[in-house]
Amino acid sequence: MNAVSGAEPAAAGVDGQRRDQLLNALIDEGCTLQELGTILERQRRGVAENDQDLIEASVQALGRTLLTMEEARRRRESLLALLAGGEPLRLRELERVFGDPLPVALADARRSVQQLATTIARELAINHHIIDRALQAGDQFLQRLFSESLEPAASYCPEGETDPTAGVLVNRTA
């Protein structure tokens, strides 16, 4: 999707090609994280406005975007493993493969993905809290609605009648 523009010239051979693939993967992952942030904002707006359609649409979009995120993560991990000779390599360990300092474009892309991931984690926590509170408020409302009942009548007479003999029970077996 994203072509490498303005990046340093690729190193000769596979390493330069793999570096460019990793750079593109990080750029794509960053775009997906930004999309996820937009969806989370829409979801919060839907809860605030009590807009069921917006909430439902955001939940569906969230599911699709999370699948895309999972694919982006797998792509990044496989590229990192290829760069590290088959062993697992974390994003924060890129210097092990590329040396220190990292190429500028790669360092910027890594920093962007890490910052966006931190922001998304915070946004998810906020949404989780807001949705929990909304659900609790709905549960409390329903509980009050169904638990508030009228006090039972003190007599069997229809409401409004004041017949003193109404509702008197007589035990005839004495």
- For residue 19, the enclosing domain spans 14-147
Please tell me the predicted confidence (pLDDT) of residue 9: 41
Question: Which pLDDT score is estimated for 156?
Answer: 57
Residue type at 130?
A: I
- Rounded average pLDDT over 104-132: 92
For residue 11, is pLDDT > 70? Answer: no
pLDDT band at 4 (very low <50, low <70, confident <90, very high): very low
In CATH, what number is assigned to the domain containing residue 30? 1.20.58
Is residue 91 domain-resident? yes
Q: Decide: 4 and 87 in contact? Cβ < 8 Å.
A: no
Residue 172 — very low, low, confident or very high, per pLDDT cuts 50/70/90?
A: low
On whether residue 153 sits in a domain, the answer given is no
The two structure tokens encoding residue 139:
């549960």
Number of domains observed in the structure of the chain: 1
Residue 46 clears pLDDT 80, i.e. is over it: yes
d(CA 42, CA 51): 10
For residue 29, CA distances in Å to 26, 40, 69, 71 come to 5, 17, 7, 9
pLDDT, mean over the chain: 81
Q: Is residue 160 a part of any domain in this protein? A: no
Residue where the block lists tokens 């993967």: 25
- For residues 156-172, give the mean pLDDT: 59
The pLDDT of residue 18 is above 70: yes
The verdict on residue 65 lying in a domain is yes
Of the listed ranges 64-68, 108-112, 137-141, 161-165, the one predicted with least confidence: 161-165
Q: Residue 114 to residues 33, 118, 142, 150: CA-CA distances in angstroms?
A: 10, 6, 42, 58
- Specify the pTM: 0.68
Residue 129 lies in a domain: yes
Confidence (pLDDT) at 160: 61
Residue 7 has pLDDT above 80, yes or no: no
Residue-wise pLDDT tens digits, 142-154: 777 777 655 555 5
Q: With respect to residue 18, please indicate whether it lies within any of the assigned structural domains.
A: yes
Residue 168 lies in a domain: no
Contact 39, 57 (CB under 8 A): no
| Mean pLDDT computed over 157-162 | 61
Say how far apart CA 58 and CA 64 lie, in whole Å: 10
